Amino acid sequence: MAQSLNYLKESPSQTAGPYVHIGCTPNFVGIEGVYAQDLGSGPMVNADTRGERITIRGFVYDGGGTALKDALIEIWQADADGFYNSPSETRGKADPNFLGWARCPGDMATGEFLFETIKPGRVPFRDGRLMAPHVTFWIVARGINLGLHTRMYFSDEEAANAEDPVLARIEHKVRVPTLIGKRDGDTVTFDIHLQGDKETVFFDI
């Protein structure tokens, strides 16, 4: 027998279930008076936030093409200059008027999610090459056993997308468009497909 490495195991995930809102967005389901407001709800920007205002909206579809009405979506992104508002950001100080994180429950009638944010700047890959502007998405819901990580890139960044080291890693190029949010004016549409011909690329990070 060799020495024990003594690492712990990560707690196994369990589904967020149909009532994830009670814990994460209680006001959204009428549980009022416990928290003044739901964490991560509302616009991510204030008057002093730097950067180009955009709205990201979309749906999460199951393998039958039905939009999920009970998903919870969180996003995490860099500020307009490509800095994260995190103690682990060592390259510079992020915009103090931009947290870069938000959560949105899908609408209970339609399933649509919506984030009012800014377009992020470019962030370097591990080897220093710049990644194209992107927003990290994390999706949980009833029936999803372990939260799904993906990224949204921007359709108006063709040149940057073409040299992005993460997109370059996707062997089946026909799947790359599943990660591209379609920009039309100030709105970026990003639909997530959990399964099927249009299945979104998800990452093991």
Partner 1 sequence: MKNTLPETTPFFARDREWHPPAYTPGYKTSILRSPQRALISLEGTKSEITGPVFGHNILGEFDNDLIVNYAKPGEMAIGERILVHGRVLDERGRGVEGALVEFWQANAGGRYRHKKESYLAAIDPNFGGCGRTITDADGNYAFKTIRPGAYPWPNGVNDWRPAHIHFSVFGHGFAQRLITQMYFEGDPMIWICPIVKTIPDKQAIEQLIAALDMNATIPHDMRAYKFDIVLRGRRSTLFENRLEGN
Least gap, CB of 185 to partner 1 (angstroms): 26
Residue from the set 21, 117, 132, 152 that interacts with partner 1 by CB under 8 A: 21
User: Total residues at the site for partner 1 (CB under 8 A)?
Assistant: 82
What tokens appear for 67 in the block?
Answer: 């939009």
| By CB under 8 A, residue 63 contacts partner 1 | yes
Residue from the set 56, 140, 180, 188 that interacts with partner 1 by CB under 8 A: 140
Q: Which residue's structure tokens are 């979309």?
A: 58
Q: Are 114 and 88 in contact (CB under 8 A)?
A: no
Torsion of CA 176, 178, 181, 182, to 10 degrees: 90
What tokens appear for 173 in the block?
Answer: 């190029």
Region 69-98 residues binding partner 1, contact defined as CB under 8 A: 70, 74, 76-78, 84-91
| By CB under 8 A, residue 109 contacts partner 1 | no
Q: Are 192 and 150 in contact (CB under 8 A)?
A: yes
Residue nearer to partner 1 on the CB measure, 175 or 182? 175
Residue nearer to partner 1 on the CB measure, 29 or 57? 29
Residue from the set 56, 144, 152, 188 that interacts with partner 1 by CB under 8 A: 144
Q: Are 103 and 120 in contact (CB under 8 A)?
A: no
Coil vs helix vs strand at 64: coil
Residue from the set 11, 46, 109, 173 that interacts with partner 1 by CB under 8 A: 11
